[in-house]
Amino acid sequence: MEKRVWYRSASNGLGKIYETLWQNEKMQDKKGIVCVIHGMQGHSELYNYLFKALAEEGYVVCAQDIQGHGRSASIPGYFGDNDGFPAILHDLHRMLIQVKRWFPNLPLFFFGHSMGSFIARDYAAEYTGEVNGLILSGTAGPSPLLHGSKGYLELQKAMRGGKADGSSEGRLMAKYFCRGLHNPESLGDWICTKAEVIRRKIDDPLTVGFSLGAYRDLIEELIKVNRISEILKLKDIPIFFVSGGADPVGEYGKGPAYLYGILKEAGNKNLQLRIYPGLRHEVLNEDVREEIIERIIRFLEENNEKKKVG
């Protein structure tokens, strides 16, 4: 297994972006490119098991540590002054231009978890025609709370600045996400049913906390990708939704089901929806990991028409 690592200057000027690529160099005939996008406060290395599994199947797998995360955290938990998510899309696009030069004429797929799923949806809507399929883990639909939250965060940002510590806002979010749990042991219990997964996340030196500005930018991105006009830009793209039935981010399965319904009604005939009852936000860290990876590989194979994209 070959692993490449390199850094690229961030498009918004905030330091450098960590990028990585995995491939099975023994397989000359590659099947496609899969871009993996991690979730909020995480980093790409958390998905090494997925990189390996997909590379062994003949896929080229690439990823970044998103601006403000992991090894790209020149300012931990901060996306930028004004152009957070547009800059993230630009960073991804520049990486994919390079990867497609190395491995031309291959279909492009995205796997995105949570915040990464919002970015994957945004990318596919922005760069129409480049993306052959989306795997969306722990994604979210619209919520009546989003606009009020954005207004509050913009007010706080105006008073305290975008780089201000967002830990109090993070605690509020975690308490809200734990509202459906009986006697949670920690504010991270909404993430996974396994205590060791939550402990690893807390102890991981590459885990970052969010700034006030990052929370504001995240809410703005979630509002954007859930506009009907943005959702309908995905009506011709094969999509596999996978979530936990006890995931508060997706409103316990309602969010992914809503997106599935909108796209199905719009004529998308290549949709899959899998909700795992009782499982929480990080379904790939639950006991069904191997099953989900098998489903991902099957989805890729079913939609793997080799053609040049982009």
Q: How confident is the model at residue 307 (pLDDT cuts 50, 70, 90)?
A: very low
Q: Are 134 and 116 in contact (CB under 8 A)?
A: no
Residue scoring higher pLDDT (305 or 49): 49
Q: How confident is the model at residue 12 (pLDDT cuts 50, 70, 90)?
A: very high
At 310 the pLDDT is 42
Q: Output the domain CATH number for residue 51.
A: 3.40.50.1820
Which of 204, 199, 203 lies closest to 186, judged by CA?
A: 199
- The percentage of residues in the chain with a pLDDT greater than 90, rounded to a whole number, is 94
Per residue in 72-94, pLDDT tens? 999 999 999 877 999 999 999 99
Residue 76 three-state SS: coil
Question: Over 60: is that where the pLDDT of 10 sits?
Answer: yes
72, 16 contact by CB (below 8 A):
yes
Report the distance separating Cα 310 and Cα 300, nearest Å: 18
Range of the domain at 61: 2-142+220-302
Q: Is the residue at 252 inside a domain?
A: yes
Predicted pLDDT of residue 308:
39
- Give me the pLDDT at residue 243, please: 98
183 domain residue, yes or no: no
Q: Which residues of 214-225 are buried (b: 16+ CB within 10 A; e: fewer)?
A: bbbbbbbbbbeb
Q: How many helices (H) and strands (E) does the chain have?
A: 10, 8
Q: Is there a domain that residue 97 lies in? A: yes
Task: Spell out where the chain has E strands.
Answer: 2-9, 16-23, 32-37, 59-64, 108-113, 133-137, 239-244, 271-276
| 51 occurs within a structural domain | yes
Q: With respect to residue 212, please indicate whether it lies within any of the assigned structural domains.
A: no
Specify the pLDDT at position 119. Answer: 99
Average pLDDT of the segment spanning 191-211? 96
Instruction: Say if 273 falls within a structural domain.
Output: yes
Task: Count up the domains in the chain and report the number.
Answer: 1
Confidence of residue 306 (pLDDT cuts 50, 70, 90): low
Mean pLDDT of the chain: 95
User: Is residue 215 a contact partner of residue 223, using CB atoms and an 8 Å limit?
Assistant: no
pLDDT digits (tens, 9 = 90+) for 104-141: 999 999 999 999 999 999 999 999 899 999 999 999 99
pLDDT value, residue 1: 87
pLDDT-derived band at 304, boundaries 50, 70, 90 = confident
208 falls within a domain: no
State the virtual CA torsion across 260, 147, 278, 43 in degrees, nearest 10.
Answer: 90
pLDDT digit string, tens, across residues 257-284: 999 999 999 999 999 999 999 999 999 9
Per-residue pLDDT tens digits for 214-261: 999 999 999 999 999 999 999 999 999 999 999 999 999 999 999 999
What pTM, to 2 d.p., does this model score?
A: 0.96
- Cα gap 24→27, rounded to integer Å: 6
Give the residue-averaged pLDDT of 48-76: 97
**Average pLDDT of the segment spanning 49-78:** 97
pLDDT at 305 over 80: no
28-44 tens-digit pLDDT: 899 999 999 999 999 99
Is residue 275 one of the residues assigned to a domain? Answer: yes
